[in-house]
Amino acid sequence: MAPMTAAASRVGAVAQRVLRQLIRDRRFLALSLAAPLVIIYLLKVFLDTFGTPLMDATPFAIPIGAFIVHFITYVLCAIVLVRERTAQTLQRMFVNGYRQAEIISGYVLAYSALATVQSVLVLWELSALFHLAYGARTLLSIYLVVWLLAVISIALGILISNFARTEGQVFPFIPLVILPSVFLSGVIISVEQLPKWAQWLSRAIPLYYANQVLQKVVKPGGSVTAEWGGIGRLIVYGLAVLALATLTLRETD
């Protein structure tokens, strides 16, 4: 078997195993799929309490929806990957000849399938609750950005899990990623209003790039085809995180 074919086969084997495990783990599936929907519904209740018009709420709600996907995907993936390590699943794959890149690619492929369903559900709920009056082209653009952010969150979760030996050690890493996303991404306050050092720091946050694209896409006539630069930065960010996750994946602690 050619080396490339063998590598692809091993990646597929990892992805199939992880997918079977995800299907059996109903609690994980429920948290991944239902939790974002519940939080977005609570966001709608919160905005309704203040009497926020839908026209004003929509540009804010869509990036918040993206942030919720980012947060939940990142945390759950980090915890599950640590659980895989403590169960010595990763060690067994190394013993069987799997390489770092093949293991990481298999996990990302499997979790990306879940991210696809998650992003569709989130966009559906945002459309239903906030009456998004966008055409199919704009909705597909929003979906693409949310999906890319979810995949980046998977890569971040894998990267963080490489530095934690137990599930409890994951939790100190959560605010290191999530709090900057809240305050420095431009979702709550414009990045231009922040100090210079904070503006520079915001460039290290994936939600910053996602929010930039989303804000332009939701404008009248907006489309992701006019924002390939922002999409490209998201892709480069994701590839960089995947490379770091691959390099830091250890056979043993």
Indicate whether 230 pLDDT > 60. Answer: yes
Rounded CA-CA distance 121/119 in Å is 5
Flag whether pLDDT at 1 surpasses 60: no
- DSSP assignment of 23-67 equals HH-HHHHHHHHHHHHHHHHHHHHHHHHTT--HHHHHHHHHHHHHH
CA 171 to chain CA centroid, nearest Å: 17
Q: How many CB atoms lie within 10 A of CB 219?
A: 10
170 neighbors 79 (Cβ within 8 angstroms): yes
Half-sphere exposure of 90 (CA within 13 A, CB side): 24
Map residue 132 onto helix, strand or coil. Answer: coil
Place of tokens 């709420």: 57
Q: Which two tokens stand for residue 140?
A: 């597909």
Mean pLDDT is lowest, of 52-61, 75-84, 91-100, 160-169, for 52-61
pTM exceeding 0.75:
yes
pLDDT of residue 182: 85
Is 80 exceeded by the pLDDT of residue 253? no
Q: Which residue has the tokens 């929003």?
A: 142
Q: How many CB atoms lie within 10 A of CB 121?
A: 17
- pLDDT at residue 30 greater than cutoff 70: yes
Query: What confidence score (pLDDT) does residue 251 get?
Result: 66
Tokens 């086969």 correspond to 9
